Structure 1
Amino acid sequence: MKRSLTIMAGLVAGIALGGGALAYDGTNCRAPGNCWEPKPGYPETVAGTKYDPQHDPAELSKQAESLAAMDERNAMRVKHFKETGEFIYDVSKIPGAN
């Protein structure tokens, strides 16, 4: 009984340790965990190719505009709270905010 448990434990340990070899997918890794390789036909430089996302500057500035508007609303809320002691979340309900 003890011998069969020892053999089973050895088999389980061998499978666990050998699992890494079974996961090899044929890529050439520069470093452990850095195994990304481009597909055949992918260009060396992306700029100017069909893979270039070509972001519109107006689209990229939307988040900055949104954050500036949020800061402005928060400043109105804080100002009203300091003046009256009443916190109003909805900026349209603050007297004189519009």
Structure 2
Amino acid sequence: MKIAALGRVAVAAAIASAALAAPALAYDGTNCKEPGVCWEPKPGYPAKNEIKGSKYDPKHDPKEISKQSASIQAMEERNKKRADNFAKTGKFEYDVSKIGN
């Protein structure tokens, strides 16, 4: 019984010490070029001007980006129909299919 209790205490102590040690490895904000300009890479991460072409480069797919702009354009068209209908009737209709052309 006492051995099991000692094991639990040791595990709890190890977890507590790990939790206290973790913030020491985190960014502390002391290497600022000027107030509010404190970006610096983590160890092993390239500097800002070295990211392009590295494994950290996000490489956005143009097809995916165009999908977003197409959905935004469709949303704006629906909102225009809603606004025009509201200006005509004085009632707001969310469902665009119920709005007559």
Scaled to the shorter chain, the TM-score interval is 0.5 to 0.7
The TM-score with structure 1 as length reference comes to 0.53
Aligned length: 73
**In the superposition, relative to structure 1, how do residues 35 and 73 fare at CA in structure 2: closer, same or farther (>3 Å)?**
closer
2:4 aligns to what? Answer: none
Shift of 1:36: 3.4
1:73 aligns to what? Answer: 78
The 5-angstrom pairing of residues 10-89 of structure 1 reads 29-31=30-32, 34=38, 36-40=40-44, 42-44=45-47, 45-89=50-94
1:33-66 deviation digits (Å, cap 9, x = unpaired): 83734313x3341111211110112222333322
Shift of 1:71: 1.6
2:12 aligns to what? Answer: none
**In the superposition, relative to structure 1, how do residues 74 and 25 fare at CA in structure 2: closer, same or farther (>3 Å)?**
closer
Identity of aligned residues (%): 45
Alignment gaps of 5+ in structure 2: 1-22
Alignment gaps of 5+ in structure 1: 1-22
Dislocated runs of 4+, deviation >4 Å: 23-28
The TM-score with structure 2 as length reference comes to 0.52
